[in-house]
Each structure stands twice: as structure tokens, then as C-alpha cells.
Chain A
Amino acid sequence: MSTRGGVRPPAARSSSASVQEDDDGGALPPQGHLSADPVPPRRLGLLLTIGGVIGFLAAFTLTVERIKLLADPSGYKPSCDINPFISCGSVMVTWQARLFGFPNPLIGIAAFAVAVTLGVLLLSGTPLPRWVRVGWQVGITLGFVFVCWLMTQSLYSIKALCPWCMVAWAAVIPMFWTTTVDSLDRGLVPVPRGARRAVATLVEYRLLLSVFTGLVVVVLIAQAFWSQWLSLV
């Protein structure tokens, strides 16, 4: 497995192997992994590439819309202004949409481009150095935290949904979870001995993390805009 070059296996590999006999058939985790079913590097690469491209397009469109709106503040109607509560025009002009003093999607343009780059490298079978993986984990974690904050602001403070922003949220969620379980599995994020079994299970059922996060977001959106949705049906 040339793709795992440069990754140091977590300590106590051999001793934990003997406790891996479970009802799933007692498969042993491969060298350097906690789980018997690690994230295949190429699949992570595919996810980062597709998610990165989608997120990039969303951030890019938002930036272009923001510029057009700036050029003609009273006349321009953004493409995503569908009704009073599904609208990026009303969201883009809030302070939350420029938390660091400039429009948030500028961060997205840069960050999603990095995701695509790393994704393409993984797809090509290039082994990523440990520090690059750690850096990406830090980056996507910050991205996920930022997205969660933006969601709460959008739902409960601004009280409007911006379609392109939601596309970016949807891209970040699976990228975050898959990257995180991969980092846990590889020991990039230290896992205490007692939690290894639980983490291995988490890695094996990783798809559920993205599915449940997505469902929670859908339910919160449905709940926060309940009367508005009803007026549409």
C-alpha cells in the first residue's frame, strides 16, 4: 500500500489487534489503522474533489453575486432570491456574512480549492505526508465549526436561507466527517486506548455521521421555517 507511506502506525498496534475479534467476523485492521475497514485514500480523494468543486462553485457564485449587488445595490436581484425567506440577497448584506471584515465566500474560494487539490492528489495515489493530513484536518475542522455557526445565525438570527450557502454547508459536512474518521483511524488525532474499539466502530459506520448530521440540519431548517414552508405548500 504505497499510499500509506509516511504515516507512522499508532503505538500498541499488536496488542490491540487481539481484541478486534468481534461479531463482524474478526477481521484484523491493516497496519497503521485502528479499523479493519479504513477509509480508502482514493475514495477520500474522490469525496474531497467532488465536494471541493461543488463548494468552490457555490462560494464563487456568492462572491460574484455580492459584487453585482455592490455595483447596483437597489436594482440588482440576486439569482437566488426566490422568496422572502429563501434569499441570498438578504443574507449577504448581514454582518455575519462578512465575519472577518470581508465576504465569507472569499474564504470558501481559497479553502475549497485546497480541498480539490488534496483530493486530486489522493485520487492519483500520491501519499500525503502526515503534516499535510494534520493541516487539512485542522482546516476542515475550522470550516465545519464556521459552517455550524453560520447555520445557527441563518436559522435563528437572520431568519433567511441562502441557497448557495446551503450548498457550501452540504459540501463541508461529509468532507469533515470522512476526514475526521480517517485522521482518527490513522492516529493523526491521538485516540486513548480505551476508546479505540469505539473509534474503530465509528470509522466503520462513518457514513451514518454524515447522514445523521444532514438529517439534523434538514429537521432544524424545517422547524425554524415551519410556517413559511406551510405557506408554500
Chain B
Amino acid sequence: MPDRPTTKDARREAAREKARQLREAEARKKRRNRVLAISAAAVALVLVIGVAAIVITRATADKPVVQPPGVTGDGGIVLGNASAPHTVTIFEDYQCPACKAYEPTVVPWLDQQVQAGTIKLEFRPLIFLDRRFGGDYSLRAANAAFCLAGQSGVDFVKFNEAMYEAQPEEGTGGLTDSKIVSIAQGAGGDIGTCIAAGTYEGFAQKVDAAAFALTDAQGAKVVSGTPTVLVDGKLLTGDGGQGVPSQQQIAAAVGITG
């Protein structure tokens, strides 16, 4: 660029330079509009595809809610005499290793109390670990439990124990349907068609959502994971207000000694 635009050539050069700057500004503006248009189109496209995908998966994934016989409306598989004075509820997930570790420490004793008619034992199978680990094992297992619950002459506790004994590692896809069917057979049930149809999967989804929405009198969440134990509808924790109660702690809560 010239320092002193005094000559004709220099003035022409300056005019040319000015024209160049104008062209540049014009081009910049055009480009900015194009960039904004492409960005907006891309964002809109992603949004439209996302919404469409949500609509499609919801339409196909939202399974009909069928109430299984012999199960409470909120998904409780209740064992024991209806006149028993106390109810112990265990929220469980068949994919949960903590449940596998915990249940053998309390369920045999609870089962004895059920036989003695002193308590009712209620299992509520949840499916939240599917959301954490992907896959559908918790859902299939919960459906199987609901399939079995309504049948007569089955030993649900035995099914429950066998399911945990055979529990594969978290997030590995879980037991096959046929393996679950054979476990149910061992407990005296026939759930082949029910598990193939996924009859109560919609119900299991509803039960899971309802369990995590439970709140106590103070409005605090009751269930935040599994296992969770309630005695007569109230949360019972282990030492220090955490975790799950021991057999002795449950016994104390229901007033049974020895």
C-alpha cells in the first residue's frame, strides 16, 4: 500500500483497494448467512430425527400393562397367610449382585416365619439395572417372576434363590429365556409361553417406575436401588441408617425374638 496517495496511479490503487474491501465484506456477509443456514438446517435435522426416533421407539416399546393374577397392583408377589400381622417387602433386581449376596442371609429365615404365619413376605422385582447396563435381562427376569407368581403350587422362594444362584455378571446380557424357564420348572411352574410373549413386561415397567416414585411421609425417596427392605410399608435400613437390615434387625422390627 502506498504511503502518500498523491499520484494518479496511487489514487487508482486506493480506489481498487476500496473496491476490494467492499467485495470482501460482501463475500463475508454471504458466507456468514450460508454458515448460519447450514447450522440451523443441521440442528433442525438432528431434532426432527430425534423426535421421530422417540415417537417410533415409544410406540413400539411401550408394552401393554397386563395385571398378573396373584400379584398386587404395585407389583408385590406376596407369600404367606393373609392374616399374618406384619409384611416384609424386598425390592430386588435379578441382575443385582448385592441382592444375590443379601437374600440368602435373610430369606430362609423369612420363609420360616411365613410358614409359621407370623409375617407375609413380599418380593417386588425391579428392572432399573437394564437402564444402567443396557440389555433386557432385568425385564425378562421380572416378567418371569410375575408369570410364575400367579400359578398354583409353585415355590416362589425356590425360584428366587435359583435365579440368584445362576445370576451372571452385571451387564453381560443375563440368563437366556430357556434357562429361566427351566429354573421356573424346578420351582414347579410352567412359564414357557408367558416368557416368550413377554406378557407382563409392560406391568414390570410400570412397577419399576412406581417403586422409584415412592416417597415417605417427609417426601423423601424410599427406593433408590436394590436391595431395599420395607417392614409394614416403612423403610428399614441397616446400621447407621444405611443399606439393608440384618435378620436380627428385621426380627426386632416385627417384634419376633429368638
- A204 near B31 with CB under 8 A, answer yes
Q: Are A28 and B31 in contact (CB under 8 A)?
A: no
A227, B39: Cβ atoms closer than 8 Å: no
Given known A-B contacts A27-B24, A36-B24, A207-B35, A230 and B57 have beta carbons under 8 A apart = yes
Partner of B24, one of A25, A74, A228: A25
Query: In the complex, A205 Cα to B28 Cα: how many Å?
Result: 10
With A24-B30, A84-B128, A231-B131 as contacts: A208 and B242 at CB distance below 8 Å: no
Asked if A212 lies at the interface with its beta carbon under 8 angstroms from chain B, I say yes
Contact size class for B? 20 to 34
Known: A84-B128, A227-B134. A208 touches B46 (CB 8 A): no
Contact call B27/A27, Cβ cutoff below 8 A: yes
Question: Any chain B CB within 8 A of the CB of A71?
Answer: no
Contact B131 A233 (CB under 8 A): no
- The range of chain A's interface size is 20 to 34
**Interface membership of chain A positions 200-233, coded 1 if the CB is closer than 8 angstroms to chain B and 0 otherwise:** 0000110110011001001100100011111101
Q: Which of B39-86 contact A (CB under 8 A)?
A: 39, 42-43, 46, 50, 53-54, 57-58, 61
The answer, among A24, A84, A159, A211, for a CB contact under 8 Å with B27, is: A24
Q: Is the CB of B23 within 8 A of A27?
A: yes
Chain B: minimal CB distance from A187 (Å): 20
Tell me the smallest distance from the CB of B170 to a CB of chain A, in Å: 11
Among A27-49, those with CB < 8 Å from B are 27-28, 36-37
Given contacts A25-B23, A230-B61, contact A74 B242 (CB under 8 A): yes
Asked whether, in the complex, the Cβ of A230 is within 8 Å of the Cβ of B23, the reply is: no
Q: Mark B230-258, 1 if CB is under 8 A from A, else 0.
A: 00000000000010000000000000000
Those 6 A-B pairs whose CB atoms lie nearest each other, nearest first = A25-B27, A27-B24, A24-B27, A25-B23, A211-B39, A228-B131
Q: List 29 A-B contacts (CB under 8 A).
A: A24-B27, A25-B26, A25-B27, A25-B30, A26-B23, A27-B24, A27-B27, A27-B28, A28-B24, A36-B24, A37-B24, A37-B31, A159-B133, A159-B134, A205-B34, A205-B35, A211-B42, A215-B43, A218-B46, A219-B46, A222-B50, A226-B53, A226-B57, A227-B131, A227-B134, A230-B58, A230-B61, A231-B209, A233-B54
Q: Chain B: residues with CB nearer than 8 A to chain A?
A: 20, 23-24, 26-28, 30-31, 34-35, 38-39, 42-43, 46, 50, 53-54, 57-58, 61, 128, 130-134, 209, 242
